[in-house]
Chain A
Amino acid sequence: MVNGVVVEFPALKLMLLLPALGVVFNLFLGRRAGRAIVNVVSVAAVVGAFLLALWALGELLALPAGSALKATLWSWIYVGPLQIDLGLRFDALAAVMTLVVSGVGSIIHLYSCGYMGEDPDYARFFAYMNLFTLSMLVLVLGNNLLFMFIGWEGVGLCSYLLIAFWYDNAQFAYNGRKAFVVNRIGDAGFLLGIFALAAAFASRGLWTLDFAAMREHISLVSSAVATMAGLLFFLGATGKSAQIPLYVWLPDAMVGPTPVSALIHAATMVTAGVYMVARLGFLYQLTPATMEVVAAVGAITAFFAATVALAQSDIKRVLAYSTISQIGYMFLGAGAGAFGAAIFHIVTHAFFKALLFLGAGSVMHALGGEQDMSRMGGLRRKLPVTHATMLVATLAITAVPGFSGFFSKDEILEAAYVSGHYWLWGLGVITAGLTGLYMFRLFFLTFYGRSRVEAARLPRLHESPAVMTIPLVILALLSLGGGWIGLPAGMLWGDRIGEFLRPVVGQVKSVPGLEALALSAVASAAALSGLVLAFVFYVAAPGLPERAAAWSGALYRALREKYYVDELYDFLVTRPLFFLSDVAFDRVIDSYAIEGLVDGAAAAARGGAAAIRRVETGNVQHYALTYLCGALAVLAYCLYYSMRHG
């Protein structure tokens, strides 16, 4: 299938070096260098990586389809037949992800210069951000599972550090820990998946974790092992990409600075799970059962999160649930075999979701940190740029035809339908309607209607500075036009991104034009009806929502309380764990077994030393005598040996 060539391209190393230098600079010199220099260095590091990625893309496009660029940083693990290098591989899939990570990353870094302008800890912030960029690039460029895992853990660490960035708030620090712990559960799955796959290959004599080699020899893996490994990897993906059952950390992650939410918890890191599944597509295609699980979890998560988003009042929380929902779409596409569509949705989602978060950040910036939509409203005139760009993003996420989200979401739903997942397709269409509803609810509550802003904040209400609005405009343009790189096949220039990715992620079945049109029409109708419903509820008849909430009663409460999932986990997992660690581990094992072991070791050392130290008489002759005894023993052995062997 892959008949392209692999070309050495050392500049890939530079792509990692730039953010790494940024980290070192910000960490050690950032405080002394001052705000302006930190801003320049941090942004330049990421922009530099983006330009290098563009250069690499140009090189890649000049090669035949299915080619890749590679570079090797260092030899890493050389144990017997197992040889793992820290190698980079820039193929079509990595190219798309790299451009998204460094491109959207550049925009968000630029925005951060304004957003974090008054924070005293800006050097630490930018150090973490650059470290995140570095880790994410490692994740997407790593040419083997272990190197990818380093990046995977690195982004997890940065996520934790940035969620808990304002660590003096105990709740924020707690949320950071929660994200870290939940991610660890997924990471364990990822790691076990690596072990399973490595063992499966090694038992057939192939010692490798390299993606290209594994892909070539995937037929060596039995379908049982492939199923197990696929499910374990998917567990890892649910942790990182916030899917059921491990999605609970993402809404709480919104306490971090808003650029962080935009970059890490919307545009890039949370899509790493989708990228990983697409990267391992050759494994998933072996096992239809695993693909079904991926598709079902994706669709159910998409629907579930969309319903929760309907009843949230915190602007960032709505966006968090919408992220979960959109990633659910991506997994639906991946599970249906349309890895290309899933990656395409990563790209468009990165544009409009980053824009939504940055727009929300702009609103919060204007309102002095206010996040509650019930204290917003009527901001249209005060924040014209934010309003216009947010409108574009909202239309894009609602998948209004012509906007970027439409093309990618349409491809996913079409793939789900074509592959025979009619129920999941139906769920996807309903979710599309819900998406329109909750997104325009957010939009209308924020920018339209009567102003509910606290009086004290009104005089200081202002549009954000240019350093923040320019990124918004750039992202708005991308949200508007970004989808046109993946038109339906046969229309104008066709599905360029799909063709670009095809050698890496494989081909999908498609349907005849008319049927595809019908499918698009259904999905678009659902999305637009959500939009209209939102308009009726929140603009035309503002009293309606309260009545609807009162009417639906328990259901509404359940939605507002996020189906009580946190409470459920608390009851099922956290409390038993605390009980176990408190009673069994702390009071029994720790007090007796471990302390006994530790104290015993100390006592044994003390007693032994007290006995042995008498050997040190200080008398040289005793030492000589001991030495003589040793010489005697050696001599006796030599004698014995010479007698035995002549």
Chain B
Amino acid sequence: MEVGVFAFFAVLAVVSALGVVLQRSPVHSLLALVATLLAISALLIGLGAVAIGFLLAIVYVGAIVVVFLFVIWLLNLQRDPGEPGHLAAKFFGAFAVAALTAELFAFFVRAPVGPPPAPAGYGSVDRLADLIFRDYLVAFEATSLLLLVAVVGAVAVARRWPADQPRRSGAGASAHGELRRAERA
């Protein structure tokens, strides 16, 4: 990938990532996230990881982002009114992030200069499938199990339980209230 093209997508990724963090509205943040992911997938394709790059765009933008969107709608969150929050925490957090950036930069600046030319078939679906279904087969099967458990877990956690609704909120609230009362006393 030429430096000019890289610079375009790099700037796009950074700006939209900042947008994810800085946008007030969750929906705007989500749109910025979409832009970030697309920029990253372009960069991956530029690195020769064609299959993975497209997979990223499809899975993230097509599936995960949509789930985010559903949840935002479900909770009916338009804007976040009390966002500013604790100033000290923010300042400290910003400082820590700056330090992190500096340290990571110091690490990665000294990496090897240019990538060697990609071998034939690098990043192709063939090659990827070869690895996933031979060397990483066990991990792959474990991942399928993980997804299954995640789906069941997500349904179990998010589902409304009409029968024990009062018990859950009641028990939690009263335990919390007792804690608070004890604290005051």
Binding site for B on A (CB under 8 A): 621-622, 625, 628-629, 631-632, 635-636, 638-639, 642
Contacts and interface: CB of A to CB of B under 8 A. Distances in A.
A615 B107 CA distance: 32
Contacts of A638: 107
A628 B103 contact: no
Given A639-B106, A639-B107, A628 B100 contact: yes
B96 A629 contact: yes
A625 B103 contact: no
B89 A635 contact: no
A625 B92 contact: yes
Contacts of A628: 96-97, 100
A630 to B, nearest CB: 11
Contacts of B96: 625, 628-629, 632
B93 A625 contact: yes
B99 A632 contact: yes
B175 to A, nearest CB: 14
Given A635-B103, A639-B103, 12 more contacts: A621-B89, A621-B93, A622-B89, A628-B97, A628-B100, A631-B100, A632-B96, A632-B103, A635-B100, A635-B104, A636-B103, A638-B107
Interface string B87-110: 001001100110110011011000
Nearest to B110: A642
Contacts of A636: 103
A632 B107 CA distance: 13
Nearest to A631: B100
25 contacts: A621-B89, A621-B93, A622-B89, A625-B89, A625-B92, A625-B93, A625-B96, A628-B96, A628-B97, A629-B96, A631-B100, A632-B96, A632-B99, A632-B100, A632-B103, A635-B100, A635-B103, A635-B104, A635-B107, A636-B103, A638-B107, A639-B103, A639-B106, A639-B107, A642-B107
A628 B92 CA distance: 11
A467 B50 CA distance: 100
A629 B103 CA distance: 12
A628 B89 CA distance: 13
A632 B100 CA distance: 6
A330 to B, nearest CB: 72
Contacts of B103: 632, 635-636, 639
A638 B99 CA distance: 14
A458 B105 CA distance: 108
Contacts of A639: 103, 106-107
Contacts of A625: 89, 92-93, 96
Rank and list the top 4 A-B pairs by shortest CB-CB distance, nearest first.
A635-B103, A628-B96, A632-B99, A639-B106
B173 to A, nearest CB: 16
A146 B9 CA distance: 78
A629 B107 CA distance: 17
A635 B104 CA distance: 8
A621 B88 CA distance: 13
A629 B97 CA distance: 9
Nearest to A624: B93
Contacts of B89: 621-622, 625
Interface string B112-132: 000000000000000000000
Contacts of B107: 635, 638-639, 642
Contacts of B97: 628
A632 B106 CA distance: 13
Nearest to B97: A628
A394 B170 CA distance: 88
Nearest to A635: B103
A637 to B, nearest CB: 10
A638 B107 CA distance: 9
Nearest to B104: A635
A632 B104 CA distance: 10
A628 B94 CA distance: 11
A621 B97 CA distance: 13
Contacts of A629: 96
A300 B58 CA distance: 104
Nearest to B93: A625
Contacts of A642: 107
A621 to B, nearest CB: 7
Interface in B45-63: none
Contacts of A622: 89
Interface in B11-48: none
A516 B88 CA distance: 104
A636 B100 CA distance: 9
